């Protein structure tokens, strides 16, 4: 051990109590420090490797329930597509076999509330002479919530548009929640999907595989 070099004194640094020393670094000590650092890095790598593939099911389920109960702040801009987020959360909980939602008895009330919420997003439109049915992405239009199932064909109180992707999410999520789709008019749904199919050129009468997301484009 050696004293702190004199050139560090009087440089505006606080004077330490007692004698301050610095350790001389010999090649042997440097090699030992390097070996110690390598051992620490290996321990961290081994820990990461041992945790690889482990899945914290309860923690993931809690996050999904949290996301269902309210839109997390980072996703507030997706309010118009809230049904999509609900779809992914519910499908994930189904894969996890989450008892809070999918237990036959314990999850019944929660499932029924979710089913009613989805049906409140149902939209019926007149496009020309054709009635189409589908779903919109969320309650952003301010429609009042109805705690009873509306009859098929009931128009929304606030004008909105059938959305193709939201209709897909709604139907699949309803089935996952155990709904029998008895409140859906299958023919009007099909008319809605058909009405969103694009023509190659205006008026050529040829239907192709691409679709508009909603009637407005």
What would the 3-class secondary structure string for 104-150 be? CCCCHHHHHHHHHHHHCCEEEEEECCEEEEEECCCCCCCCCCCCCCC
| Dihedral angle computed from the Cα positions of residues 171, 175, 178 and 183, in that order, rounded to the nearest 10 degrees | 40
- Residue 155: its pLDDT value, please? 47
Q: Tokens 């059938």: give the residue.
A: 162
Global model pTM greater than 0.85 = no
| pLDDT tens by residue, 167-180 | 999 999 999 999 99
List domains and CATH numbers for the chain.
Answer: 57-211 (1.50.10.20)
> Looking at residue 200, what DSSP letter applies?
S
- Residue 36: its pLDDT value, please? 84
**Pair 93, 64: CB distance under 8 Å:** yes
Buried b (16+ CB within 10 A) or exposed e, 11-45: eeeeeeeeeeeeeeeeeeeeeeeeeeeeeeeeeee
pLDDT, mean over the chain: 75
- Residue 1: its pLDDT value, please? 45
Q: What is the mean pLDDT of each run of 10 residues along the chain (217 residues)?
A: 48 50 67 81 74 75 87 76 89 88 86 90 79 80 55 49 87 92 87 76 63 68
Long-range contacts (CB closer than 8 Å, 24 or more residues apart) made by 101-109: 101/65
Q: Tokens 């019926």: give the residue.
A: 124
- Residue 90: its pLDDT value, please? 92
- Residue 91: its pLDDT value, please? 92
- Residue 4: its pLDDT value, please? 46
């Amino acid at each position: 051990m050696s004293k702190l070099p004199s050139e560090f004194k009087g440089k505006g640094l606080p004077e330490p109590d007692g004698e301050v020393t610095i350790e001389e670094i010999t090649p042997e000590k440097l090699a030992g420090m390097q070996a110690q650092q390598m051992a620490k890095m290996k321990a961290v790598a081994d820990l990461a490797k041992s945790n690889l593939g482990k899945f914290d099911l309860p923690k993931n389920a809690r996050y999904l329930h949290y996301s269902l109960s309210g839109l997390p702040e980072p996703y507030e801009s997706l309010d118009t597509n809230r049904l999509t987020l609900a779809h992914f959360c519910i499908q994930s909980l189904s894969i996890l076999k989450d008892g809070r939602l999918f237990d036959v008895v314990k999850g019944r009330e929660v499932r029924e509330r979710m089913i009613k919420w989805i049906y409140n997003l149902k939209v019926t439109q007149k496009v020309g002479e054709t009635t189409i049915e589908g779903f919109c992405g969320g309650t952003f239009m301010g429609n009042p919530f109805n705690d009873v199932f509306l009859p098929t064909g009931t128009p929304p109180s606030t004008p909105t548009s059938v959305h193709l992707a939201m209709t897909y999410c709604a139907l699949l999520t309803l089935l996952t929640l155990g709904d029998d789709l008895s409140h859906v008019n299958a023919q009007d749904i099909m008319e809605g999907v058909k009405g969103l199919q694009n023509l190659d050129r205006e008026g050529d009468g040829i239907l192709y595989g691409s679709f508009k997301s909603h009637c407005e484009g």
